[in-house]
Amino acid sequence: MTKVKSLADLKKMKESLQAKIDLREKGDAAENLIQIKVAMATCGIASGAKNVMEFLLEELEKRGINAVITQTGCMGYCYAEPTIEVKLPNADPVVFGYVDTKKADEIIEKYIKNGELVDGIIPVNYESIDNK
Amino acid sequence: MKDLSLHILDIVQNSVAAEAKVIQITLEIDDRNDYIGLTVNDNGKGMDGDFLKRVADPFTTTRTTRRVGLGIPLLKQNAEQTGGFLRIESEPGMGTKLSVRFVKSHIDCVPMGDVAGTIALLICSYPSIEFSFHVRVNSAEFSVSTTDLNDALGGIPLNDSAVFPMVKEYIASNLDELQITNLG
Ligand SMILES: Nc1ncnc2c1ncn2[C@@H]1O[C@H](COP(=O)(O)OP(=O)(O)OP(=O)(O)O)[C@@H](O)[C@H]1O
Ligand SMILES: [Mg+2]
């Protein structure tokens, strides 16, 4: 792949990007979408949330998994940062603590791909983490 | 916070939380005058004078999940440690401008870190916010904005996961040219 150095280079990527998106959307209906939130308050950022988010963005794309990854505020689990919330289709959201890239890899391979539980789940009694 | 790129990510989250629609980030690296300057300007809900006076105190936060807010106090401490400063101007309903300066040659000056990754992450995560990022290293400059990227991508959403690596590469290769990655 050639390096993207200018907006013109980016423009040239348009078609291949669109092709990728079309392919993915054909394979996966919107209701099958996986939603991931990365807690990105000071506590999360200081303990590595940025790396985890970049890892998730890059790896899910590489591994062909259709997911929407967003940032959210503090979930209130500062002691367990970085934390992420994963919502699989037709399942309740699950919060994982102490997520580094190794843990994130395990979450993708076991929980996201196969629905197998992995260590590090924070028990919660709430709906979702749109608070701050 | 171990580098400036993480401080940027963190401080911008405050603007996002304040419901800003426009966020301008400026980074200046000036060797002759020996400083690194960062400003984050937003049109979010702002703070009143009384709150502003207390904002660098860790016990000032509007968070409900915990009683301390650390983002601003940590940045202020890191800047002052080098002989620099942090300043905030804000007006309720109008927005906030945070400026911080580090003395570049000071031994405690934080390294740059992955600025390209931070900016790409922000632009791609919040497509409804109009970001602009301007960087100047001595006399060389580079700018990127949400509008520029949307124009280039012509309708492909910025928050599609296929887009992030491209945007990051675009910003990174331009920052490399300014030799930003070699600093600190
Ligand atoms: N750009 C801004 N616009 C409006 N209010 C702001 C802005 N930046 C900070 N504030 C206010 O100042 C408070 C303190 O900010 P600070 O970043 O120090 O801590 P926090 O965001 O509350 O928590 P933390 O950063 O530790 O996750 C915030 O809770 C918010 O009320
Ligand atoms: Mg903050």
- Residues B1 and A46: beta-carbon distance below 8 Å: yes
* Nearest by CB: B156 against A17, A43, A68: A17
Judged by phi (left if over 0) then psi (alpha if -120 to 50, else beta), residue B66 lies in beta
Q: Which two tokens stand for residue A28?
A: 């996966």
Burial of A15 (0-12, 13-18, 19+ CB in 10 A): exposed
> Which of A26-40, B9-23, B142-156, B160-174 shows the lowest mean pLDDT across its residues?
A26-40
Global pTM value = 0.93
Q: How far is CA B138 from the centre of its chain?
A: 19
Mean pLDDT of B106-132: 96
Q: What percent of chain A has pLDDT over 70?
A: 87
Which of A3, A10, A20, A66 to substitute to test the interface with B, most B CBs within 10 Å?
A: A10
Chain B residue at shortest CA distance from A62 = B162
ipTM of the complex: 0.89
What is the per-residue pLDDT for B184?
45
Residue A65: closest CA among A28, A114, A107, A19: A28
What is the per-residue pLDDT for A2?
65
Angstroms from B91 CA to nearest CA on chain A:
22
Separation CA B175–CA B139 (nearest Å): 14
Q: How is chain A split into domains, by residue range?
A: 33-124
Separation CA A67–CA A36 (nearest Å): 7
Distance A43 CA to ligand 2 centre (A): 9
pLDDT at A100 over 60: yes
Average pLDDT, chain B: 93
- 10 Å Cβ neighbour count for A106? 17
Chain B contact present for A41, CB below 8 A:
yes
Q: Which helix (H) or strand (E) holds A59?
A: helix A49-62
Quick one: pLDDT band at residue B17, thresholds 50, 70, 90?
Answer: very high
Separation CA B134–CA B117 (nearest Å): 15
pLDDT digits (tens, 9 = 90+) for B42-67: 999 999 999 998 888 877 788 777 76
At B176, is the secondary structure helix, strand, or coil? helix
Quick one: pLDDT band at residue A132, thresholds 50, 70, 90?
Answer: very low
Distance B59 CA to ligand 2 centre (A): 12
Ligand with the closest atom to the CA of B66: 1
- 10 Å Cβ neighbour count for B81? 15
Give the architecture-level CATH label for domain A33-124.
3-Layer(aba) Sandwich (3.40)
Chain B residue at shortest CA distance from A51 = B117
Q: Report, in angstroms and rounded to the nearest whole number, the Rg of chain A calculated over CA atoms.
A: 16
Contact A42 B70 (CB under 8 A): yes
pLDDT digits (tens, 9 = 90+) for A37-86: 999 999 999 999 999 999 999 999 899 888 999 999 877 888 899 999 99
Q: What percent of chain B has pLDDT over 90?
A: 82
Query: Which residues of chain A are within 8 Å of residue B10 when distances are taken between CB atoms?
Result: 41-42, 45-46
- Residues B175 and A7: beta-carbon distance below 8 Å: no
Which residue's entry shows tokens 């600025």?
A: B115
Q: What percent of chain B has pLDDT over 70?
A: 96
What is the per-residue pLDDT for B166?
94
What is the per-residue pLDDT for A127?
45
Contact B10 A45 (CB under 8 A): yes
